[in-house]
Amino acid sequence: MAEELRIVLRNYGKIDPLNIDSYIAQGGYKALEKARGTDQKGLIDEVKKSGLRGRGGAGFNCGQKWWFAYMAQADQKYVVCNADEGEPGTYKDRLIMQNDPQSLLEGMAICAYAIGADKGYIYCRGEYPYVVDVLNQAIAQAKDKGVLGDFDIEVRMGAGAYVCGEETALIESIEGSRGEPRFKPPFPPAQGLWQKPTIVNNVETFANIPVIVDKGAEWFAAIGAPDYPGTKVFTLTGDINNKTFFEVPTNTTIREIVYKLGGGIPGDRKFKAVQIGGTSGAFIPEADLDTPVAFDAMAAVGATLGSGAVFVLDDSRDIVDVVTRIAGFFEHESCGKCAPCREGTMRTAELMEKIEAGEGSIDDVALLEKIGRVMSYSCLCGLGQAAPTPVLSTIRHFKADYNAKLL
Amino acid sequence: MVNITINGMNVSVPEGSTILQAAQQVGIHIPTLCYHPDQSIKANCRVCVCEVEGNRLLQAACSAPVFEGMVVRTNTPKVLEARKTIVEMILANHPQDCLNCIRNGACELQTLAEELIIRDNPFELMIRGYDKDTSTPSLFRDPDKCVLCRRCIEACSVIQSVNALGIEGRGNNAMVVPSLGKDLIDSPCVMCGQCIHACPVGAIGEIENIDQFLAAVADPETIVVTQIAPAVRLAIAEEIGMATGELPMDVFVNGLRQIGFDYVLHTNFTADLTILEEGNELLKRVKEGGTLPMFTSCSPGWINFCETFYPDLLDNLSTCKSPQQMFGALVKTYWAEKMNISPAKIFSVSIMPCVAKKFEADRPEMRDSGYKDVDIVLTTREIGRLFRQSGIDFNKLPPSNFDSWMGAYTGAAVIFGASGGVMEAALRTVYEVVTGNTLEDVNFTTIRGFDGIKEATVDLNGLEVNVAIAHSLSNARKLMDQVRAGESPYHFIEIMACPGGCIGGGGQPITKRNQKRIERIDAIYLEDEGLSIRKSHENPEVKVLYDEFLHEPLGHKSHELLHTHYHDKKKKYL
């Protein structure tokens, strides 16, 4: 175990990303051709059977999502790629887009064929202008080659709001409105962009598609954890020797990622915690390191996979300080639309600062837990629901660090 | 139909219903804050969250659609903790000055705090510290009190198509602000006050003129004279615990005497006068090839809208002042002379269903009497407050008649208060003026009711007149765009800024429901039917006014006192 397996990064370093012929020479666009030779239902069935689940964080069955959009009756449907990679410490989507943009376009084109869409958007993070250049060149080349057929793709840029990674906020942003989430249902496959059926998938999800179509659902379903098959790209940051990225099957454990692939902690310091999935991810203690990086296994220990960011802390780190900074991040990034997130992120930041300053009491910790609990199931969107996770998981696993700072 | 269970009770509701609707059907009240029955679903306050079996997340009852076999619980410990915590956090960000708030006793947040038994709020009080915006004479904004429900934004953008309000900033810095973050007076705000009705709290309200009124009453030298707009009587009942329309006019008049008015007159008098001036203006435009279609000019929110968004169509506006301002100009000239009272001593107060009237009274051109024609405007709500302050029991108060000269009115004036009423009143008169025949049935029922745009063609002895009526400015915009494009088939267009006309005005008792507005419309036509004179040109006091003072419609004196002009108020950024 603990071997890399590159599916979405299959062409990394092997092709010239700015030359479509280089992609085609590696077998690119054969999957699209094959898909177009299959009937739509059969194609969607294949994706469903592969068990591929969304790599953006929510982990919804991809083929099932496509089925909803396929079934929706409408004169216009859209395919949207969520490339608003805003999680601190995450750059997996950038890796794919910079090094193999055509596989993303091919994945989107297969989706477009499956659901009956002829227009696609890539919503790219505002801090990635150089990636936008790559994407635009790739789209122009694909159009010249005629490989996309009548499927048109346009790149739209975000303006730096973290919340626009939430699919409905992203849709609002493409529509030209303030980037704020919509309530669901209706879900985008029923009413999305301009109220039309829309598939929003992450870059990594789309990059899996050509391979699944090419090699078949059974091949894919056999890789990694059965309930979350395939691979996952992780980007390692923090107190770890190999600050780089890896693509591994989903039955790999966290311990393997940290100690084998990541090369362990510098200076042989002791492990304290690892946060997986980005800023809203749970802090995982030593005791849970043998959890496989699959969706349901992670959920069982109160964690998520999220974006695949792996942030390691050694025992010299002050957890309360780290979480206080995270609380400030969410206070800043809450869009302000729903009351529990707007008020809750502000109150959480306020209470964390109080505790961090040595002025907090046991009641403040209890209040933090209450706010977090309420936010986690009352907020309008995933941002607010996940924002308290770092607070709640550290109070649970590292209570002593909090107690040490209380009055 | 979909079968669901709420708190163990089975209920069958139509497909597409929300949990909130289903709960109403079984008599379960779910608290709400951002929910507005006549607006789109917002689901942003999260106060109405409920548990749905099989779902980890609580569901907002206002937005969650029901499904077959759904099991809902509306009052579990988890639900109550969530609701209470959310409202506690909102309250901890809200000034605790309920006792001197304009919405004291009529505040949705106050009710919510009571319902959720909020006592010792664990969150530290943190007021955001925004400045109160009192830049307009009509309405204020107090952003510190804003709960970010966004109902005002929808009222302003969807109902009125004015778009003076939007959201600026994010997170806890998010705030409802006028365009470009400026003061309301610098925004395209037309001061209709529909945002006041939409606001659940005291973050938007009317600028009160109560103190000026009380000071005038207290001064023995000052003669305080009032005029009452047609839409006020039926709605004021709602302010004093009666059903809509239940307060008899003559008891209302006595109530006004009780709170200190020396003379009680009626805007209805000048509503009748408006019909004679405006009706003749229309006929003149038709005969002499003037600018058509002609637009009515009684609604000051609409005038502001036309000046701001359609300055190229100002020539289409009737030059007639609104009844309020006609009254103001006459009370300090004609009436003062007739009553032998020095106009300098008259304090002219109008009672209006409207907040834009406050702005209108302050217009510099509204001083044709040589004084400020209307000194202050009190809304229906402010009169309600004064009535409650006075301690009057209206069930026991004897009736009293209007004072004479400018107190008499017809049914045609009464219906000014409802959308379509000005048009109907005009048609009752114009028909008889043009044809010379007596109009047997005065009821033009096709142009009544709550439809956004109504139209009719009237045959005046071979002269076919096409008319249209719109209420709410988003509907007005449709007719205006048609006129601007040169495609309007109409001769005469009535526009009222507010939903349902003046009965739904920004100064009326706070109401969220269009159903209430429809009730008020019904009360208006009932009043009209109960009157023996129902055509403006038959108003005996108006006849006297023309005989003794004005001499003829559109005459010299009329132009001096009763007509006005408009200004291009297009904002640079529009």
Write the DSSP string, A288-331: GTT-BSSHHHHHHTT---TT-EEEEEETTS-HHHHHHHHHHHHH
Catalytic residue chosen out of the listed positions B322, B332, B502, B536: B502
Residues of chain A in contact with residue B201, where contact means CB-CB under 8 angstroms, are none
pLDDT mean across residues, chain B: 95
Residues 6 or more apart in contact with residue A32 via CB below 8 angstroms? A106, A109, A110, A113, A147, A210, A213
Q: Do A339 and B65 touch (CB under 8 A)?
A: no
DSSP A253: B
What are the backbone angles phi and psi of residue B26, rounded to the nearest 5°?
-95, 10
Residue for token digits 């699209």?
A: A32
Residues of chain B in contact with residue A350, where contact means CB-CB under 8 angstroms, are 124
Cα–Cα nearest to B36, from B50, B20, B25, B51: B20
> H-helix or E-strand containing B440?
none
**Domains detected in chain B:** 2-91 (3.10.20.740), 128-206 (3.30.70.20), 211-561 (3.40.950.10)
Looking at residue B349, its amino acid is V
**pLDDT of B179 higher than 70:** yes
Residues of chain A in contact with residue B57, where contact means CB-CB under 8 angstroms, are 377-378, 385
How many beta-carbon contacts under 8 Å exist across A and B? Answer: 98
Q: Do A336 and B172 touch (CB under 8 A)?
A: yes
Spatial distance between the Cα atoms of A261 and B156, rounded to a whole number of angstroms: 58
CA distance A337 to chain B (A): 6
DSSP B406: S
- Judged by a CB distance cut-off of 8 A, whether residue B91 touches chain A is no
CA angle B87, B92, B98 (to 5 degrees): 90
Q: Going edge to edge, which strands form the sheet with A198-202?
A: A152-157, A119-124, A78-83, A198-202
Beta-carbon count within 10 A of A135 CB: 23
DSSP B65: B
Spatial distance between the Cα atoms of B317 and B306, rounded to a whole number of angstroms: 9
Catalytic residue chosen out of the listed positions B88, B154, B238, B360: B360
Is B124 labeled as catalytic in the residue annotation?
no
- Judged by a CB distance cut-off of 8 A, whether residue B82 touches chain A is yes
What's the pLDDT score for residue B433?
87
Mean pLDDT of successive 10-residue stretches along chain A, which has 407 residues = 88 96 96 96 97 91 97 97 94 97 98 98 96 98 95 96 96 96 96 98 97 97 96 97 96 96 94 95 96 93 91 97 98 97 98 98 98 98 97 97 96
Q: Do B46 and A379 touch (CB under 8 A)?
A: yes
Task: Find the radius of gyration of the CA atoms of chain B.
Answer: 25
CA distance A26 to chain B (A): 45
A residues 127-146 lying closer than 8 A (beta carbon) to B: none
Cα–Cα nearest to B303, from B491, B566, B558, B561: B566
Spatial distance between the Cα atoms of B369 and A141, rounded to a whole number of angstroms: 76
Q: Do B148 and A380 touch (CB under 8 A)?
A: no
pLDDT in tens, B500-534: 999 999 999 999 899 999 999 999 999 999 999 99
- Judged by a CB distance cut-off of 8 A, whether residue A392 touches chain B is no
Cα–Cα nearest to B81, from B52, B107, B54, B58: B58
Answer yes or no: are the C-beta atoms of B174 and A342 closer than 8 Å: yes
Residues of chain B in contact with residue A361, where contact means CB-CB under 8 angstroms, are none
Residues B122-136, mean pLDDT to the nearest whole number: 96
Q: Can you tell me whether residue A234 is helix, strand or coil?
A: strand
Q: Is A37 exposed, middle or buried (0-12, 13-18, 19+ CB in 10 A)?
A: exposed
Is B498 labeled as catalytic in the residue annotation?
no
Answer yes or no: are the C-beta atoms of B67 and B18 closer than 8 Å: no
- Judged by a CB distance cut-off of 8 A, whether residue B47 touches chain A is yes
**Cα–Cα distance list, A90 to A260, B218, B251 (Å):** 20, 72, 74
Beta-carbon count within 10 A of A240 CB: 24
Residues B320-340, mean pLDDT to the nearest whole number: 95
Residues B419-434, mean pLDDT to the nearest whole number: 92
Helices (H) and strands (E) in chain B, counts: 20, 17
What's the pLDDT score for residue B461?
82
Q: Is B362 exposed, middle or buried (0-12, 13-18, 19+ CB in 10 A)?
A: middle
3-state helix, strand, coil in chain B (%, to 5): 40, 15, 45
Helices (H) and strands (E) in chain A, counts: 18, 11
Answer yes or no: are the C-beta atoms of A277 and A258 closer than 8 Å: no
Q: Can you tell me whether residue B166 is helix, strand or coil?
A: strand
Q: Do B171 and A377 touch (CB under 8 A)?
A: no
Best mutation target, A162, A184, A333, A342, to test chain B (most B CBs within 10 A): A342
Which residue of B63, B90, B123 is in closest CB contact with A339? B90
CA distance B204 to chain A (A): 19
Nearest CA in chain A to B126: A347
- Judged by a CB distance cut-off of 8 A, whether residue B174 touches chain A is yes
DSSP B18: B
What are the backbone angles phi and psi of residue B180, rounded to the nearest 5°?
60, 20
DSSP A174: H
Which pLDDT band holds residue B181 (cuts at 50, 70, 90)? confident
Which pLDDT band holds residue B570 (cuts at 50, 70, 90)? confident
Best mutation target, A180, A183, A304, A332, to test chain B (most B CBs within 10 A): A183
Spatial distance between the Cα atoms of A128 and B495, rounded to a whole number of angstroms: 51
CA distance A343 to chain B (A): 6
pLDDT in tens, B345-395: 999 999 999 999 999 999 999 999 999 999 999 999 999 999 999 999 999
**pLDDT of B241 higher than 80:** yes
Q: Do A161 and B170 touch (CB under 8 A)?
A: yes
Q: Do A161 and B78 touch (CB under 8 A)?
A: no
pLDDT in tens, B10-26: 999 999 999 999 999 99
Q: Is the peptide bond before A129 cis (omega within 30 degrees of 0)?
A: no
Q: Do B49 and A343 touch (CB under 8 A)?
A: no
Q: Which two tokens stand for residue B254?
A: 């006595």
CA dihedral (A227, A233, A234, A235) in degrees, to 10, reads: -160
Is B318 labeled as catalytic in the residue annotation?
yes
Spatial distance between the Cα atoms of A254 and A277, rounded to a whole number of angstroms: 12
- Judged by a CB distance cut-off of 8 A, whether residue B121 touches chain A is no
Spatial distance between the Cα atoms of A388 and A403, rounded to a whole number of angstroms: 19
What's the pLDDT score for residue B124?
95
CA distance A102 to chain B (A): 36
DSSP letter string, B297-337: ---HHHHHHHHHH-GGGGGGB--BPPHHHHHHHHIIIIIHH
What's the pLDDT score for residue B574?
67
Spatial distance between the Cα atoms of A23 and A6, rounded to a whole number of angstroms: 16
Label the pairing between strands A283-284 and A198-202: unpaired
Q: Ramachandran region of residue A103, left (φ > 0), alpha (ψ -120 to 50) or beta?
A: alpha
Nearest CA in chain A to B50: A378
**Cα–Cα distance list, B209 to A131, B300, B392 (Å):** 60, 18, 21
Is B502 labeled as catalytic in the residue annotation?
yes
Q: Do A185 and B47 touch (CB under 8 A)?
A: no
**Domains detected in chain A:** 20-222 (3.40.50.11540), 225-314 (3.10.20.600), 319-403 (1.20.1440.230)
Q: Can you tell me whether residue A232 is helix, strand or coil?
A: strand
Answer yes or no: are the C-beta atoms of B562 and B365 closer than 8 Å: no
Answer yes or no: are the C-beta atoms of A122 and A154 closer than 8 Å: yes
What's the pLDDT score for residue A58?
84
Q: Which two tokens stand for residue A348?
A: 């959480």
Which pLDDT band holds residue B311 (cuts at 50, 70, 90)? very high
Answer yes or no: are the C-beta atoms of A223 and A231 closer than 8 Å: yes
pLDDT in tens, B259-269: 999 999 999 99
**Cα–Cα distance list, B358 to A71, A293, B378 (Å):** 56, 66, 8
What's the pLDDT score for residue B407?
81
Which residue of B58, B123, B167 is in closest CB contact with A378? B58
Spatial distance between the Cα atoms of B380 and B334, rounded to a whole number of angstroms: 27
CA dihedral (B350, B353, B359, B362) in degrees, to 10, reads: 0
DSSP B133: B
Spatial distance between the Cα atoms of B424 and B416, rounded to a whole number of angstroms: 9
Residue for token digits 């699959």?
A: A294
Q: Is B316 exposed, middle or buried (0-12, 13-18, 19+ CB in 10 A)?
A: buried
Spatial distance between the Cα atoms of B194 and B355, rounded to a whole number of angstroms: 9
Is B221 labeled as catalytic in the residue annotation?
no
ipTM of model = 0.95
Spatial distance between the Cα atoms of A67 and A64, rounded to a whole number of angstroms: 5
